[in-house]
Amino acid sequence: MSLSLTLNETLNYDISKMGGESVSRKPTANVVDLFSGAGGLSLGAARAGFCVKGAVEIDPEAISSHKKNFPLTLHFQTDISTLNGNRLRDLFELHNGDLTGIIGGPPCQGFSSMGKNDTNDVRNSLFSGFFRIVSEAKPKFYLAENVPGILKEKYSGIIREAYSFVEEQYIMLPPLVLAASDFGAPTTRTRVFFIGYRRDEMNPITRETLSYSEKETTHVKDALEGLPTLISPTWQTEAESWRVVEVAGNGFFASRLHGQIPYGMGDPSAIERLKKERKVSGFLGTKHSKEVATRYANIENGKSDPISKSYKLKPDGFCPTLRAGTGSDHGSFQAVRPLHPTEPRVITPREAARLQGFPDWFQFPPTKWHSFRQIGSSVCPIIAEHILGTIRKAISPTLEGELLNEHKY
C-alpha cells in the first residue's frame, strides 16, 4: 500500500479530516518531533514512511510554518521542559504501543563553533530534556540531532547526563557524524546523530548501514537549476516573491523538488500554484548599493567578501552550512548569507531552501529574516530521509520500495 498521495489526491483531500484523525492510507508508524522547527526532520520522517503524529516547538513563527506544511499533524507550542512522557502521549493520543519514535534537534547554539561554546548556556539542558522524555514515553526508537561541537570533551558531562536516562532501556549507537553532501544534498552541512532503539521491538541497526549512501552527488548548480537568476531588489512582499520555476534532470535530488509529497503534507494552495502555474514562493530580493554589487561581482567563486564575509558559492561545489542567525532573545542578528554563484547578490530564501534540500512546495514565512532563520536552523531533509528510512526498514523490512510514489510536477 502506498504511503503518499499524488498531487491531485493531496489537493482533493477532505479538509474536514485535517488535525490528526485516523484516516485510510495514513502511515501507522507514529513519530513525535520535539524542537520541530519548520520541519526538516519531520519531512525526512514523512518521506521515510512515518506518520508525523505530533510536533512540539516553542517558537511561534516556526510552529506556524510546520502547521502549514504538516496540516494533519497535532501541534503543541511549549518549552519541552514543561513536558513529561505521559503528558506527551496524552497530548498526541498515543497509547498502547502507538508511539514508534521520538525525533528532534535540541538547540545547538551553546555547542556551535560559531557561538560562545558556553557550557552553562541554559539551552544546553534541553539536550538532556530530550532524553528524559524518551525514557518516560518509551518509544521504539529515538533520534536526536546536533552540531559536532557537542562531542567536545567539555560537554561530556551533558552527554553522560542525557545517556543516563536511556542507557538501560535502549541499544545506543555511538554518535554518528554525517555530512549531508554524502547523501545527495548540495550542502556540506555536517551534524551528529544520536540513535537508540529497543532490541525487542526492532531489527538491528548498524553504523555501517546508516553511513552507506549510493546517491548521486548534487552540486550548487544542480540545486539552483531552473530557478530565476535575475532577482529584482524591489520584490519585497510575499505576493511579489512567487516566480516561475523548472526542475532539470530526473535524478534523486530532482525527484525531491516537485514530487515525493508524503500523505497529507503541504499547503494545498501552494501545491496548486506549483501544479497549474509552476510558481513557487520565496524569491525575495535584497537591495545592494552599486558599490556593494560591484564588489560582489568581482569576488571569485569559492572566496569570501572581505567586508560582509559572504561566501561566493562555487557552481561545481557544495554550499557551506547555512547559518540561522539569532533569535529575538539574543539580538535578532541576521546570519551572513552566501553570494549567488553568478549574480552580484546574496541568495534568496528559496535558493537557500533548495541548497538545504527542501522541495519547492515547502512553505516558509513571507519575510527574509524568519525564512533564513528557519532554513538555517533546520535538519537537512535529504539526510533525515536517509537515516529515518534505514530505521523504518528495521521496524518493517517488507516496507522497502513501498514508501513513496514517484511523481513530479
Residues 354 and 388 placed together within one structural domain of the fold: no
- With 0-12 / 13-18 / 19 or more C-beta atoms within 10 angstroms meaning exposed / middle / buried, residue 206 is exposed
Q: How many domains does the chain divide into? A: 2
Return the pLDDT at 160: 95
- Is 78 among the domain residues? yes
Residues 366 and 236 placed together within one structural domain of the fold: yes
Return the pLDDT at 116: 52
- Is 129 among the domain residues? yes
Question: Whose CA is closest to 126, among 55, 58, 30?
Answer: 58
- Is 408 among the domain residues? no
Residues 252 and 363 placed together within one structural domain of the fold: yes
Are 37 and 66 a contacting pair, CB within 8 Å?
yes
Return the pLDDT at 70: 98
Return the pLDDT at 96: 84
Residues 171 and 193 placed together within one structural domain of the fold: yes
Rounded CA-CA distance 64/367 in Å is 13
- Is 1 among the domain residues? no
Are 374 and 396 a contacting pair, CB within 8 Å?
no
Instruction: Write the CA distances from 273 to 66, 260, 369, integer angstroms.
Output: 19, 17, 24
Residues 264 and 293 placed together within one structural domain of the fold: yes
Beta carbons within 10 angstroms of residue 192's beta carbon: 18
Non-local CB neighbours of 208 within 8 Å, separated by 6+ positions? none
- Is 90 among the domain residues? yes
CATH of the domain at 197: 3.40.50.150
Return the pLDDT at 332: 45
Beta carbons within 10 angstroms of residue 406's beta carbon: 9
Are 78 and 56 a contacting pair, CB within 8 Å?
yes
Rounded CA-CA distance 71/266 in Å is 7
Residues 251 and 344 placed together within one structural domain of the fold: yes
Return the pLDDT at 324: 72
Return the pLDDT at 122: 56
- Is 321 among the domain residues? yes
Question: Whose CA is closest to 112, among 101, 123, 102?
Answer: 123
Return the pLDDT at 405: 41
Residues 78 and 162 placed together within one structural domain of the fold: yes
Strand 171-172 versus strand 190-197 pairing type: antiparallel
Asked whether the CA dihedral 183, 130, 49, 19 is positive or negative, the reply is negative
Return the pLDDT at 25: 54
Residues 63 and 21 placed together within one structural domain of the fold: yes
- Is 100 among the domain residues? yes
Return the pLDDT at 199: 85
Are 132 and 93 a contacting pair, CB within 8 Å?
no
Range of the structural domain that residue 95 is part of: 7-214+379-399
- Which pTM was predicted? 0.88
Residues 281 and 314 placed together within one structural domain of the fold: yes
Residues 307 and 338 placed together within one structural domain of the fold: yes
Q: Point out the residues that are catalytic.
A: 108
Pick left, alpha or beta for residue 350 (phi over 0 → left; psi -120 to 50 → alpha; otherwise beta). alpha
Residues 149 and 225 placed together within one structural domain of the fold: no
CATH of the domain at 317: 3.90.120.10
- With 0-12 / 13-18 / 19 or more C-beta atoms within 10 angstroms meaning exposed / middle / buried, residue 384 is buried
- Is 409 among the domain residues? no
Residues 52 and 158 placed together within one structural domain of the fold: yes
Return the pLDDT at 259: 87
Alpha helices per DSSP H over 22-109? 40-47, 60-69, 85-91
Task: List the chain residues with pLDDT less than 50.
Answer: 1-24, 113, 115, 117, 326-332, 399-407
Rounded CA-CA distance 360/282 in Å is 9
